[in-house]
Amino acid sequence: MPYRTLDPTKIETTAARLADRVRARFPDSSLLKVSDELTNLTRDLGKDAVTLEHPVWWLRALAIATVIAAAVVFWRVGTLISFDRISGGALDAVQGIEAGINTILFAGAGLYTLVTLEERFKRARALKSLHALRSLIHIIDMHQLTKDPAALSADYVTTIASPKRTLTPAELTRYLDYCSEMLSITGKVAALYAQSISDMGVVEAVNDIEELGSNLSRKIWQKIMLIERV
């Protein structure tokens, strides 16, 4: 169903269209570089999220080969319970049973590690990509940080440390609106990983990114409302 899952291609198209809008209105601004980077990151992470939906066959082959090799070793060496030792006395029987139980426990732990190897591999890869996305969110926030609507008021007094302000009220509104849209796109890109991997660690990281973007976007819209009041 097309409207029940996120489409990475459409998200990339939206990011590219937003970059074109920034280029048309602010061609010499650093915000354009940020929007272009968002487009590139959207494309790369979209492909990565789709890749994680599929099995990692070399990891599965490695796990199967390791299990088979371990089974052969157990069969040839005979590290499980030794029945010869059981017939030698109660003490030998207890030692043999204990050795067998320890072997089974270690074998079970090793098997569990191999079975979950693919899951842990995908989780680590997803969290690394989400970290890059989180960093970009903070970069977007840095670009809107100095865009203060109070500077538009007639009684605003600048200092020698004040940043240079050249945007008109209409331009400042569009600038902040573009930042808000960028933050919204980052949340959609992050959601691709929650859609691809059913892992609680990844889902929690995605929720954190979406919450971070929403909180920053809320701050931006407060500024836009102040511009209208001024």
Residue that has been written with the tokens 């409302």 in this structure: 225
Backbone dihedral region for residue 153 (phi beyond 0: left; psi -120 to 50: alpha; all else: beta): beta
Q: Which of the two residues, 135 and 103, has the higher pLDDT score?
A: 135
Chain mean position to CA 172: 31
Q: Which of the two residues, 121 and 17, has the higher pLDDT score?
A: 17
Report how far apart, in Å, the C-alpha atoms of 8 and of each of 5, 11, 48, 51 are: 10, 5, 10, 12
Virtual CA dihedral for 13, 144, 27, 38, nearest 10 degrees?
Answer: -30
**Beta carbons of 93 and 85 less than 8 angstroms apart:** yes
Residue 154 has pLDDT above 80, yes or no: no
| pLDDT one-digit tens code per residue, 78-114 | 544 454 544 555 555 555 555 556 555 555 655 556 5
**CA-closest candidate to residue 128, choices 205, 214, 213, 57:** 205
* Distance between CA atoms of residues 215 and 227, nearest Å: 19
| pLDDT one-digit tens code per residue, 51-87 | 888 877 776 777 677 767 766 666 665 544 454 544 5
Mean pLDDT for all residues in the chain? 82
**CA-closest candidate to residue 110, choices 54, 69, 57, 80:** 69
pLDDT range class, residue 48, cuts 50, 70, 90: very high
